[in-house]
A and B are shown apart, each in its own frame.
Chain A
């Protein structure tokens, strides 16, 4: 089945540094990818929708300048957490539709997630 790969799986950084997380669809093209954040014992919260070749659409309350999203190709979206602080420590997960263009149906596949710890 389709695979979405996310890298890195774990990252520990100092407060004030920037961290880039990559999300790749390995065997399908994804014009749209999604970025979620999950705090312990909480649900996945959609942060933004990443659109290939255009600006990402951010959910209410998510700072665009804080969480930079780039979707430069049909198989790669990146999320950069700029000037990370301890409260940004979380589990970040990306997902992409493996969509059948004819029927507009498909399945949403998730990356393995990236656990960010900001010291």
Chain B
């Protein structure tokens, strides 16, 4: 079983839609969780950290479920510019990246 698993997608959604990604992790000792965004042929950039209580940043909401060992990312009112690959990242003594979920928002 992979340490961090994501549905690779692609998720094709129209502008304005709400889309959610899930990510599961295998190591119960994982301490920190992040969502990164990676555009094609670019380096990953931090989208948001994920806190136990859940957190929101504008149209983006991240949640953590330690009992079930998954984290989620919800994007509301999708924009064309949201099209990218979203990487789930889990930290133990090092950062482990998921394979990413590709999102394509169409007009």
Contact = CB atoms under 8 A, between A and B. Distances in A.
Interface stretch (B12-20, B61-69, B73-81, B97-105): B97-105
A34 B87 CA distance: 17
Nearest to A109: B46
Interface string B12-41: 000000000000000000000010000001
A49 B96 CA distance: 13
Interface string A8-34: 000000000000000000000000001
A43 B46 contact: no
Interface string A79-110: 00000000000010100000000000001101
B98 A111 contact: no
Q: What range describes how many residues of A lie at the interface?
A: 10 to 19
Contacts of B42: 112-113
- A interface majority secondary structure: strand
Interface in B40-99: 41-46, 87, 94-99
B87 A44 contact: yes
A49 B98 contact: no
Contacts of A107: 46
Nearest to A93: B43
A46 B87 CA distance: 14
Contact of A110 (B43, B94, B99): B43
Contacts of A110: 43-45
Contacts of B41: 91, 113, 115
A54 interface: no
17 contacts: A34-B95, A36-B97, A43-B87, A43-B97, A44-B97, A46-B95, A46-B96, A46-B97, A93-B43, A107-B46, A110-B44, A110-B45, A111-B43, A112-B42, A112-B43, A113-B41, A113-B43
Interface of B: 34, 41-46, 87, 94-100
Given A36-B97, A43-B100, A93-B43, 8 more contacts: A34-B95, A43-B97, A44-B87, A49-B94, A110-B45, A112-B42, A113-B42, A113-B43
